[in-house]
Structure 1
Amino acid sequence: MFLYETSFFCNLTFLTIKSSSSLIFFNNSSNHDMFKRDYKKPILLIAFIAFFNLISNAQNGDIPPAFGYYKDATRFSQQNIVGSARIRALGGAGVSLGGDISHGILNPAGLGFMRKSEYQLSMGLGFTGTTSSGDGVQGSGEQTRFFLPQLGAVWASSKSSSNGGKWRGGAFSISFNRIADYNSDVYYTENGSNPTSLLNYFEEAAYGTYKSNMDLASQDYARGYTLLSLGEMAYALDLIKPVYSDDDNSYNYYYNSDRDKYGFPITVNGTDTSYVKQRTQMVKTRGGQYETTLAYGGNFDDKFYFGGKIGIQNINYTKTSEYVEIRDQELTYLGLAEEFETTGWGVNLSAGVIWRPIDALRIGATYTSPTWYGLNDYYTSNLTRTYDNYAWDDAAYQNQHFNSANFPPEEGPDYVYNPEGKDLYNPNASESATYNGKKSATHDRIRTKYNMTTPWKASGGISTFFGKKGFLTVDVEYVGNSAINVSDGTTYYLEGTYSEFSQPLNFDGDNYILNEELRNTVNIRAGGEYRMSKRLMLRVGYAYYQDAQKEEYNLGVDKSKQFYTGGLGYRNNKFYADFTVIYSKWKGIESPYQLDDNISLDNSSTVLIYPIIDVDYNRTELQLSIGKRF
């Protein structure tokens, strides 16, 4: 699938490791060669990341590469409509409403309306569906999940107006709230129409790595040691080979300024990657984002309500991907399985007010600070390939594909990742071998610890009441995505061994992308309640959450979310029960890998040649909230 883009977005990132001469082994045997391994080559994290031409398009020309954590910051800054079944039935609106335990997180001033203490429990069942589409792409997935949207308690201490004072008391609440859900399954097949392969990705992963380093990594892996990059894995499985190197690849030339380039053992007509008959991918995401809220709301003269809260947030997110290329010719099977996990804690503050000038009208406003997070990311992968009697002749391959004498310079091998534009031909290449059977390699688990700041939010709302018949309420929320930031990162390798080492990260590239790609957004929530009888209420609502990504960077896919809600409520003096149905839909995209080497049409647009899959998401949630006053 070919997509046109009027920017430098490409979605490839890499993590450059500068630690040198690392001694790495896992048993008591000695190996002096391990001192020669230098982890200067990137460890690639497949996570839907980065920008094409980032540095050349930056004004100062000095922006470091992005590591992909800007995508974490974007993902964990987007939330769903939250609250009890009653509030969610109203489209999540309630900034000016008051009188519900959900106001601890929506607007703590609303707790000031509560005259009785209560506790509440909400239960939910979610059904998430996905439909994948694109050039030669089809597939669908379904996922069902039980969840706890909210639980908590309110302790109210109200005062009567008969004592002559204007202070009416207030209420304190503790509540647990699910604010985002990440549960979905995406599955698709593609008929091989895309001209690229995972081999292209490995080529870029290996670019700039010394051949001597690769050889040592392969030898060490054969003896039971670990691999720390996708480039090393592909090389150890004979999926990529050097196509440019020094005449002498011995250790004596290890620190030569020239670096190796890598190509593919199998090509088609010298221009495209080997035959891909079909590619499939299953992407499973699990987990959610939660906030425990401590809030207080006070009441002054039944006219002015104010409150504040402390929110303690938790993230638990896991993404697993299984990508397979079914191929013909000598490389019959190529598969990459990955697991990516994020966990951590954060804290935020909020303050709000509600003004009730007359009984029929309420006006509210609230401000929520950014959430300051400390997070840990974990990544691991496994690569498997199957060869069927593939014969490799390095000299023949070099001469056929990289000897400039065999083709005009303007028709050179530009399909090989070669941003420095150097001559790729190595006349002294001499390796030959035959490969057969199935072979796998594993990427050692790595951990990255970093800090993240999510957006601040300012909300305003208005509610109008129609006596005891019902009400309408509307919220407008402004989200300051400009505050999103990642900082203070360190990646840890070989944890739990005496060879453990770490690398600090410079997030300037990620923060540049956040500033360049994202915009501040406006979310709208609206709902109404109609009292059908003394104890039975009918509710409906709608919400629209704007896509935070600027249009010029979203690949033509608007990721805004829409929520359609409705429900019923029952109340008596001491007990209440609310049931709600929430239907939401949005769009997204998936890519099994991203390539930096794309086809440039001109200075302002790029053709993204790697697979890009459009995904339509929908989710139906059933929520029941029950509460008791005391």
Structure 2
Amino acid sequence: MRKLFILGIGMLCTFANAQNIDDVIRYSNDNPQGTARFQAMGGAFGALGGDLSSLNINPAGSAVFNFSEFTVTGSNYNRNNDATYGNSISNTDINSLEINQAGGVFVFNASDDSPWRKLSLAVNYDLVNNFDNEFRASGSSNQGIDNYFLNFAQGQALGPLRVQNGERIDDAYLDIGSSIGFGAQQAFLGFQSGLIEPNDDADENTGYFSNAQYTNVNQEYAQITSGYNSKFTLNLAGQYQENLYLGASLNFHTVFYDKLTTFDETGYDAASDIQSTRFDNFLHTEGNGFSFSLGAIAKLNDNIRVGGSYQSPTWYRLTDDISQRINTDSPVGNPNINLIDFNIISLFPEYTIKTPSKLTGSAAIIFGKEGLLSFDYGYQDMSQAELRPTSDAAFANENQFISEQLGVVNSYRIGGEYRIDQVSLRAGYRFEEGPYENEEIIGDLTGYSGGIGYSFGPSRLDLSFSKTEQDTNDFLFDSGASNSAMVNRINTNISLGYSVKF
């Protein structure tokens, strides 16, 4: 039977795996893959328009279409991760297949005496982020998982960590979480598993020590994520006279995110009462969000276009639930500890993440019907991100931490296209700075792309290949120990899109 409990708002931020800086970064990373043409040119469409995924950069782009059009795109996502932990390197490689874009634009020509030459109405779905990913780390460390539980236990009275007469251990786990909070709940797991012990047996005791003896321990860690962040866009744009395009969009976001972490630890000293520990966590997040965008594109002459756009903050309303399980071979552990498993679910109240707004400036050179070059520059101040309600003390502390740790993210995209009769050859480059002031936590992202398109008259088939690379420093524990794995992340996408004018 599944058992659930709800934590009060005052306890919300004590869950170290959620509602923190990591979530802000995850949902601020607005990284739509888009149409195959969009991907092949590095997403540099802010001054070009004429592509449904260009609405993610500049909502004025739909007014550039001369005909109504429908586009659908499917992509194969490959995730290749090399995790360095200690002196060991572990590789994981996964693939997933998604319909990542679908949409249409309807173009309406105005009367000859109107300064508005045409109006366009567009609807588009884009996969902003595909969360399907996995990495594994294996190596030795002088910091064991006992530090995680000791960090939560120190200062916590022993009395509430006991299982009362006639009480089931899983009910006690639920009760302490709902009445005291997540931190005490972690101390409960450490104590009931026999991994940590109180300094004395009095209920008033607030000091603890580890039952694990070691100089170095062997650790195996896996993080498996799945889900998506999608965006549905409603767009209205128009061409004013001959050289100005204006547009606005309303964006509706949907989030589903799952994260499973598994952790195994062995290699304790021969004299240690504990010889093995396993600790697993599962986080599920879902919710929705809203944002809007405004933009303009100007034709300075027949060859040069410039564009500018404003992307508002995105306001996400999210809910989390977590489940945990722990097992040790401690002789003093509660023999019923296995009753606490993934069927015991902790529910958290709804909360809000406000991601920072973004400004984009763009320029493009058009070489008649032969081809084009395009450039986009994006500016986003990640230190302005917030967890809400800001009246919550824990959120206020985390927001202060966010403002100190995160900084401005500058991004650059360059794309080009060369046409030979019905064939279009494309290439792109992308560079995006890491969001942390300390670049060793998340490094800069670089990407390359290329593709080809073939026009069949009213329809077009596009194929693209894109590859990005980024280094991240992923911590195994959220508190108590600084163990981390350096992960080299290489994402490769192959996309096929079909467009038809009508």
Deviation digits for residues 210-247 of structure 1 (CA, Å, limit 9, x no counterpart): 112112469733485434312111211222111157xx
In the alignment, structure 1 residue 440 sits paired with structure 2 residue 324: no
Aligned to 1:187: 136
List gaps (5 residues or longer) in structure 2. 4-9, 178-184
| 8 Å Cα contact 2:442-2:473 kept in structure 1 | no
Deviation digits for residues 304-360 of structure 1 (CA, Å, limit 9, x no counterpart): 110100001111111100100023433121001100122111111111011112111
In the alignment, structure 1 residue 549 sits paired with structure 2 residue 436: yes
Q: CA RMSD in A?
A: 2.6
Note closer, same or farther for the CA distance 1:538–1:217 as it changes in structure 2 (3 Å cut). farther
Give the SS at the match of 2:313.
coil
1:390-405 maps to which residues of 2 (within 5 A)?
390=331
Tell me which amino acid in the other structure corresponds to 1:131: D
| 8 Å Cα contact 2:423-2:454 kept in structure 1 | yes
Deviation digits for residues 96-129 of structure 1 (CA, Å, limit 9, x no counterpart): 0021122332212111111211111100001101
Tell me which amino acid in the other structure corresponds to 2:387: V
Aligned to 1:426: none
| 8 Å Cα contact 2:34-2:73 kept in structure 1 | no
In the alignment, structure 1 residue 477 sits paired with structure 2 residue 364: no
Deviation digits for residues 5-56 of structure 1 (CA, Å, limit 9, x no counterpart): xxxxxxxxxxxxxxxxxxxxx8xxxxxxxxxxxxx99996353xxxxxxxxx
Note closer, same or farther for the CA distance 1:42–1:352 as it changes in structure 2 (3 Å cut). closer
Output the CA distance in 1 between the equivalents of 2:133 and 2:483.
20
| 8 Å Cα contact 2:38-2:54 kept in structure 1 | no
Output the CA distance in 2 between the equivalents of 1:130 and 1:376.
29
| 8 Å Cα contact 1:386-1:436 kept in structure 2 | no
In the alignment, structure 1 residue 132 sits paired with structure 2 residue 83: yes
Output the CA distance in 2 between the equivalents of 1:319 and 1:343.
12
CA shift, 1:207, in A, is 1.6
In the alignment, structure 1 residue 105 sits paired with structure 2 residue 6: no
CA shift, 1:165, in A, is 4.1
Output the CA distance in 1 between the equivalents of 2:56 and 2:261.
34
Note closer, same or farther for the CA distance 1:487–1:122 as it changes in structure 2 (3 Å cut). same
| 8 Å Cα contact 2:298-2:305 kept in structure 1 | yes
In the alignment, structure 1 residue 620 sits paired with structure 2 residue 497: no
CA shift, 1:526, in A, is 0.5
Give the SS at the match of 1:72.
helix
In the alignment, structure 1 residue 243 sits paired with structure 2 residue 199: yes
Note closer, same or farther for the CA distance 1:525–1:43 as it changes in structure 2 (3 Å cut). closer
Output the CA distance in 2 between the equivalents of 1:217 and 1:179.
48
Q: State the identity as a percent.
A: 22
| 8 Å Cα contact 1:114-1:170 kept in structure 2 | no
Note closer, same or farther for the CA distance 1:42–1:331 as it changes in structure 2 (3 Å cut). farther
Give the SS at the match of 1:465.
strand
Note closer, same or farther for the CA distance 1:333–1:275 as it changes in structure 2 (3 Å cut). farther
Note closer, same or farther for the CA distance 1:42–1:213 as it changes in structure 2 (3 Å cut). farther
In the alignment, structure 1 residue 522 sits paired with structure 2 residue 413: no
Tell me which amino acid in the other structure corresponds to 2:459: F
Output the CA distance in 1 between the equivalents of 2:78 and 2:59.
31
CA shift, 1:586, in A, is 0.6
List gaps (5 residues or longer) in structure 1. 1-25, 27-39, 48-66, 268-273, 391-433, 491-503, 597-608
Give the SS at the match of 1:93.
coil
CA shift, 1:275, in A, is 5.6
Aligned to 1:221: 168
Note closer, same or farther for the CA distance 1:489–1:522 as it changes in structure 2 (3 Å cut). closer
Deviation digits for residues 57-99 of structure 1 (CA, Å, limit 9, x no counterpart): xxxxxxxxxx752221122101325421111111011010021
In the alignment, structure 1 residue 535 sits paired with structure 2 residue 481: no
CA shift, 1:621, in A, is 0.4
Note closer, same or farther for the CA distance 1:111–1:204 as it changes in structure 2 (3 Å cut). same
Give the SS at the match of 1:513.
helix
Aligned to 1:321: 261
Aligned to 1:84: 35
Query: Aligned match of 2:446 in 562, 570, 576?
Result: 562
Output the CA distance in 1 between the equivalents of 2:229 and 2:19.
20
Aligned to 1:411: none
| 8 Å Cα contact 1:353-1:364 kept in structure 2 | yes
Aligned to 1:611: 483
Query: Aligned match of 1:196 in 143, 146, 149?
Result: 143
In the alignment, structure 1 residue 264 sits paired with structure 2 residue 210: yes
Rg larger in 1 or in 2? 1
Tell me which amino acid in the other structure corresponds to 2:450: G
Tell me which amino acid in the other structure corresponds to 1:202: F
Give the SS at the match of 2:300.
strand
Deviation digits for residues 525-577 of structure 1 (CA, Å, limit 9, x no counterpart): 00100012x211000001111111002xx5x3442211111000112331111
Note closer, same or farther for the CA distance 1:380–1:111 as it changes in structure 2 (3 Å cut). same
Output the CA distance in 2 between the equivalents of 1:202 and 1:217.
21
CA shift, 1:366, in A, is 0.6
Give the SS at the match of 2:434.
coil
Tell me which amino acid in the other structure corresponds to 2:196: I
Aligned to 1:19: none
Give the SS at the match of 1:482.
helix
Aligned to 2:15: 45
Output the CA distance in 2 between the equivalents of 1:307 and 1:93.
18
Query: Aligned match of 1:117 in 63, 68, 80?
Result: 68
Aligned to 1:591: 475
| 8 Å Cα contact 2:163-2:172 kept in structure 1 | no
Output the CA distance in 1 between the equivalents of 2:144 and 2:166.
26
The two structures have a TM-score, normalised by structure 2, of 0.89
Note closer, same or farther for the CA distance 1:196–1:309 as it changes in structure 2 (3 Å cut). same
